[in-house]
Every structure is written in structure tokens, then in C-alpha cells.
Structure 1
Amino acid sequence: MKILVIGPSWVGDMMMSQSLYRTLKAAHPEAQIDVMAPAWCRPLLDRMPEVRQALPMPLGHGALELGERRRLGISLRGEQYQRAFVLPNSFKSALVPFFARIPQRTGWRGEMRYGLLNDLRVLDKAAFPLMVQRYAALGYDAPQIRTAADLPQPILWPKLQVSEAEVAAVKISFAVSDNRPLVGFCPGAEFGPAKRWPHYHYAALAEKLIGEGQQVVLFGSAKDHQAGEQIRQSLTEGAQPFCLNLAGKTSLDQAVVMIAACQAVVSNDSGLMHVAAALDKPLVALYGPSSPDFTPPLSHRAKVIRLITGYHKVRKGDAEEGYHQSLIDIQPEQVYQELSQLLNSGKEQ
């Protein structure tokens, strides 16, 4: 069976979508699964063994471009896909499988996609509170799965593959010493400072870890580099050489491999947090106005710290530098204690 998936456009969503691919592959070992997504997603898809190939989606996130989507769909007809799964909820995301004439086109109703999808599921959000449950449920016939409780357990969580040879090579590329264990920090957040743990808290935690003989590596995109520099510059002069700011200096694939090299990760609610979870790293995930109730880190070795409840649509906090008070209130000592417990638990296993 040949399957086309129209994938998500965000790192975290793409990571969670792997649960669908794993579910499909478990039920149909012979299935060939291709995922169409923005080109930047390829490093993640290439590390998912269930995916045969990543197909680049050449159209922008917000562009309808009906004619181009029709052309793209027609170009896929020769692949003879039997099934398609459309993971985004937009009307336009369902057009390519429709124009490709794929016989069975599955997805949640989203933006009233009657006709475009012929295996249309109507979502009861209360019945499927987690995004990963919604993705996994699409891998089963609709009558089988009425609620998340009907899903076979355990749900197959995301799991990326990275080899030891790749880890060794990327550490050489960035001149990362093997003399000290690595702890990764992911201090960026896509929607601004309100979702970021303050740089001075990260610096206090880094200072303590470095004092105990570890080294800290900072991950993120180019726009997170300044946040990384704030952390590094807040360290004492003696600690700074043991804090490496790689935000904006790695490709996504290099960041994935470097995170695999870490013994543990501390992260804001971000896409890289989901990458760390899929690599099964001991992980402390820090939440403020965004909520883990819908997209928590999918790992038994993850600890979520959050001091408030509910979802708060906040783009910039009221505190100094745009931080949110609920994240300011998470103290470095609390994060250190949770991190230590995770690391000690790993040693006991």
C-alpha cells in the first residue's frame, strides 16, 4: 500500500505526527509512506524509519495558489497512492490529494472539507484532548476509535534515529569537548519572550551545572542567538568557556544530532523540546502561558514544570523584557532538583 501524508508545518507538530506513521507501519508493515511537507522538515522525516521519502511542499504556508496545487496533485497521479492523510486542518491542505485522485483521503473535518476528503472525521475535542491522540486515531477505521480511550495502548510516540557515528562527527565539527558531559538548553520560543524562561534563570542553572563539571550547549534558530548570548554573558568569566551558543549556527539536522549527544535537556515549550523528547533525553520542560494539556513532551523521561493552569493567549508578558511572571516564578533551584532526579533515575536503571 502506498500512502501520501500531507504533513504539518511546525517542528513540534511534525514530531508528533510520527505517531501516525508508526501506527500505520505497525498495522501495515509493507506500507510505503511518503510525507509532503516544507523542505525544512526533511531532516526530521529522514530520521523517521517509517517514512520512505520526504516530498517538498513548494507552496508557502498561507498561499492558496489553486492552480499550482492542482498541477502538483496531477504530477503525483503516476505514484498511484491508495491512501492519503491530511494532517493540517486547512481547506487548501486537502487539495493536492484530491487533484492527485487518491482513492481514500482521510482527515479531520477542519475547514469544511466535504468532498475534498472522503474519509472525513468529525473531531470531538473533549474525546481526543491530545494532539498525538488525534494523529494516531486517523490510523484506524473511524468506527473503531470513538474516543482516545479506544486507542490501543501504548500509543506509539515519536522516536528519532541518530547513530553514534553521527554524534561523534558533529561534536568534532563544532569542537565540542568530550571532557565534560553535555546539558542542552533550548531557550528560544517561536512566539516570543512570554514563552521563554528568563535568561538570568538559565544562566544561574548553567553556572551551577558548570561548577559541577558539566558543559552547557545552547540550541535554537538564528533569532534565538541573542537570547543565548544573554545567557552566556550572564555567566562568570570562568564559566563562559564551558557554555557554547550554537543557536543559529547549526542546521536543524545538526541540532538534532547535538541534542542526541546531550545527557539531558532543559527547554521552553518549543519544537526542539519535542525533538529532545523523541530522542528520549531526560528533559525538563518549562511552561508558562502555553499549556502542556494539548501538546506535552511525549517521553517517560520528561518532567513538566508549570505554576499556573489553563491556556493564556499571551504574546508578550507584563514583566521586564517581556517575560511572563509564571515563568519568572519557576526558580533555577527547582529546575536543578528535577534535572538531578531525572539523571539519577537514569543511572539507577
Structure 2
Amino acid sequence: MSACKYSNILVYALDRALGDTILSTSAIEILKRKFPKAKITLMVRKPYSDLFKTSPILDEVLALDYDHFRSSLSYIIKTARFLRNRQFDLSLSLDHRDRAAILMFLAGIPTRVGAKQMYNGKGILSSFLFTRSITVPYSHDTHVTEFYQGLARNAFNMQADALPFIGKSLPDQLEKALRLFEGIPPNQFLVGLCLCGRSSLKSWPNSFTAELLTKLYKRYHLFFYVVGRQEDLLFADELINQVDFPIINLCGKTDLSELLAIIRISDLLITVDTATMHIAASADVPIVALFGPYSPLKWHPVSDKAAVLWASLPCSPCDASGADCKGEGWCMKALTVTDVFNKTAQQLATIKKLDPRRNSYSEYFSSQPITG
């Protein structure tokens, strides 16, 4: 494919969960290197769009109502007509569902690229609708980003490596994040917590977390906050009720752009296998990541500042089926408080040599002239 042949490219990532969408962006960076002058548009679910709109790699982000899209034939046809009018000349599908190939075909995009099968080995029935259907060699012990990058490399004859990306945080978002923690002493380190997974099998027990935080607070006098979905509010409240020091509960109180800004000013994130983990990795924030029913070989945060714990029981990974443990979550309970404390202490040994991250942002904003 000639680097000057395509000028208007659509990347389809509508059917992916947020963490997977973030990891798939490594393929987009390879695409950008191949076609540096092309306009690249990313199609994602509406709640995810703010996380990518400010990326310098993307020229536009299309936000679709995913629930409506997957349940309404008329909405799919309407979307196809909209895309046809945009006159894309190349599409790259990063999805595993048949809708992607069908939509690109209905949109009349002349060159349509996608995989014959996804990283789980499952074939894509409608892949015959792609004009270029790519076979990507892949192992279950290989990280998911290697699949996406392999798709881009094989499709566009590139020998390149790339990292996942997200957008930048805007100044007003960072200022708002700083105001949440403005009462914290400037020498106190800020640690985020995201220990409730979308599946209960991915969550770490609250009693373990309370014991860990108590030990960390006594040793390092850290300031903690909890992030998560609206559904995680009760989980976080139960945790907070088990300790006798302040923790801010932000579950369900931030959109993704606000969450990103909060993570950017944080010194460390202690997390289970969640999309928040991948946001922190792309924001270059140190991480302690706890894995259980899913393999970190496949899903670990792509960052040299991430420390991963995994018990690797005989029944793990089970991809959150809980078949052997009957939903008891043996693999997460096998991660002891001592294990997580020691791994966190290792991360803090490096972090505490530095000034708390939020101070550099505070100094920047305080140095800006007052206008208006």
C-alpha cells in the first residue's frame, strides 16, 4: 500500500471494551506512521470519546451510541449512510464482531482491512466483506497489543512497534483535579485505588484492602482516593468504613476525562485488572496491578512503571468463569496483604525520591498570569 494512496482513514473500534480500546490504539500509531499525511478518524462508543479527542495522533473521534447501534438495524443503516457521505478511502477494523465488516461494506469504503480471527482464535464470519482479510499469528501467552500491532504490520507491510495512547488532559481538567486535593500537604503522596473489577472475580477483598491501606498509612502517611463506576460506590464505602483515616470516594463521580486528569496528578495507582489500569499506564503513572482470573501475560499494563502480582493458580486464567472455585475468587484471595504491601513499598521507594506529581502541576498553574 502506497503511503500517498490514502488520505481519509476510518478506524473502527466500536465493539471493544474500554481497556481493549486503549490497547488497540497501538495499531493506530503504526497506521499513522505509514500514512503520515492522512486524516485519521477513530470510531468509538460515546462514553469513551473524551478520552481520545485530544490525542495528537487522531484528527477526529466519532462517538456512537453503542447500545442503539447493536440493537437497531435502522440505526446501522443510518450510520452507514453517514459514513458513506464522509468518503473514507480506507477503513481498519480493530473489532471482533461481524458488524464491523458489514458496516464498512455498507458505507462503501473502497479498501476495508480487518482480521480473519481475533486474539481468542475465534473467526470473524463476515471477514469475507473485507477487501483485505489479514491472518495474524498469535499465541494465548502473547500480549493483546501484539495482535493489534501484528494486524497493522501485516496489512501495511510495516516493521514497527508502538505503544497504546490516550488524549491529553486540558488545563481546566487538571485544575479541577488539583482542587479536589488542595488541602493535602505538599509533601504527601497521592495514591489512587481501583480494586473493584467489573466481574466480582477480579476484585480484591475489602478486608485485605483495609489491612493494606492501614499498613501503608502508618508507614508512609499516604493520601488515598477510590475511583470506579457508580455501581462500586457501596464497595468503596464499605472499605472506607473499615479504616480510621480519610479516603475520598470518587466512584461514579467522574467522567473519563476527569478520571484521566485525577490519575495524571497521582503518584501511584493500586488497581485490579481494569480499564483504569490501562489509562494510568498510558498516562505514565506508576502502578501496582493485581491479576487473578485473567492472564497478565495477555493483559498487563503496557508501562515500565508497572509492577504486577499474579498468583498463577492451576485454575487461572479462567477468564472470569469461576468454574473451579465456584465463584469464590481463589486467585485474588491468594494475593496476600504482605505480597501487595511489599510490591507497593518497592514502587514507593522509587516514587519517594521525587516530588509529588501534583506539585509540578500546581506550580505551573500558579505561575500563569491572571487574565479576565
TM-score bracket for this pair, using the shorter chain length: 0.7 to 0.9
**Paired position in structure 1 for 2:214:** 207
Question: How far apart, CA to CA, are the structure 1 residues paired with 2:111 and 2:148?
Answer: 17
The alpha-carbon distance between structure 1 residues 161 and 223, as it changes in their structure 2 partners (threshold 3 A), is same
Question: What do residues 180-233 of structure 1 show as CA deviations (whole Å, max 9, x unaligned)?
Answer: 321001012112x21111111211222223332211010100011111112111
**Paired position in structure 2 for 1:148:** none
Contact residue 102 and residue 126 of structure 2 kept, 8 A = no
Q: Does 1:9 align with 2:16?
A: yes
Question: How far apart, CA to CA, are the structure 2 residues paired with 1:74 and 1:90?
Answer: 20
Between Structure 1 and Structure 2, how many residues are aligned? 336
The alpha-carbon distance between structure 1 residues 62 and 164, as it changes in their structure 2 partners (threshold 3 A), is closer
What amino acid does structure 1 have at the position aligned with 2:267?
Q
**Paired position in structure 1 for 2:191:** 183
Q: Structure 1 length normalisation: TM-score?
A: 0.87
**Paired position in structure 2 for 1:232:** 240
Moved more, 247-256 or 23-32: 23-32
Question: Unaligned 5+ residue runs, structure 1?
Answer: 146-150
Contact residue 171 and residue 177 of structure 1 kept, 8 A = no
Q: Does 1:40 align with 2:40?
A: no
Question: How far apart, CA to CA, are the structure 2 residues paired with 1:115 and 1:75?
Answer: 23
Q: Does 1:263 align with 2:257?
A: no
Question: Unaligned 5+ residue runs, structure 2?
Answer: 1-6, 117-122, 355-372
Equivalent of 1:328, from 318, 321, 333? Answer: 333
Deviation at 1:244, TM superposition (A): 0.7
Q: Structure 2 length normalisation: TM-score?
A: 0.82
Cα RMSD after superposing both structures: 2.6
The alpha-carbon distance between structure 1 residues 314 and 205, as it changes in their structure 2 partners (threshold 3 A), is same
Contact residue 18 and residue 48 of structure 1 kept, 8 A = no
Question: What do residues 311-338 of structure 1 show as CA deviations (whole Å, max 9, x unaligned)?
Answer: 2143559889x65122112122222221
What SS does the aligned partner of 1:294 have?
helix
Equivalent of 2:231, from 223, 227, 244? Answer: 223
Question: What do residues 71-93 of structure 1 show as CA deviations (whole Å, max 9, x unaligned)?
Answer: 21122222221210111111112
Deviation at 1:130, TM superposition (A): 2.2
The alpha-carbon distance between structure 1 residues 108 and 319, as it changes in their structure 2 partners (threshold 3 A), is closer
Q: Provide the identity percentage.
A: 24
The alpha-carbon distance between structure 1 residues 61 and 230, as it changes in their structure 2 partners (threshold 3 A), is farther
Contact residue 217 and residue 245 of structure 1 kept, 8 A = yes
The alpha-carbon distance between structure 1 residues 128 and 30, as it changes in their structure 2 partners (threshold 3 A), is farther
Contact residue 37 and residue 57 of structure 1 kept, 8 A = yes
**Paired position in structure 1 for 2:176:** 169
The alpha-carbon distance between structure 1 residues 44 and 225, as it changes in their structure 2 partners (threshold 3 A), is same
Equivalent of 2:131, from 96, 118, 140? Answer: 118
What SS does the aligned partner of 1:51 have?
coil
Question: What do residues 83-127 of structure 1 show as CA deviations (whole Å, max 9, x unaligned)?
Answer: 101111111122222111111111112422244211101243329
Deviation at 1:51, TM superposition (A): 1.6
Question: How far apart, CA to CA, are the structure 1 residues paired with 2:331 and 2:140?
Answer: 29
Q: Does 1:298 align with 2:295?
A: no
Alignment of 1:9-88 (within 5 A): 9-60=16-67, 63=70, 65-88=72-95
Contact residue 6 and residue 87 of structure 1 kept, 8 A = yes
Moved more, 125-134 or 66-75: 125-134
Deviation at 1:29, TM superposition (A): 2.2
The alpha-carbon distance between structure 1 residues 318 and 216, as it changes in their structure 2 partners (threshold 3 A), is farther
**Paired position in structure 2 for 1:277:** 281
Q: Does 1:94 align with 2:94?
A: no
Question: What do residues 290-319 of structure 1 show as CA deviations (whole Å, max 9, x unaligned)?
Answer: 211222111011111001154214355988
Question: What do residues 141-197 of structure 1 show as CA deviations (whole Å, max 9, x unaligned)?
Answer: 44847xxxxx534x323354235653232232x355331321001012112x21111
What amino acid does structure 2 have at the position aligned with 1:280?
D
Deviation at 1:284, TM superposition (A): 0.8
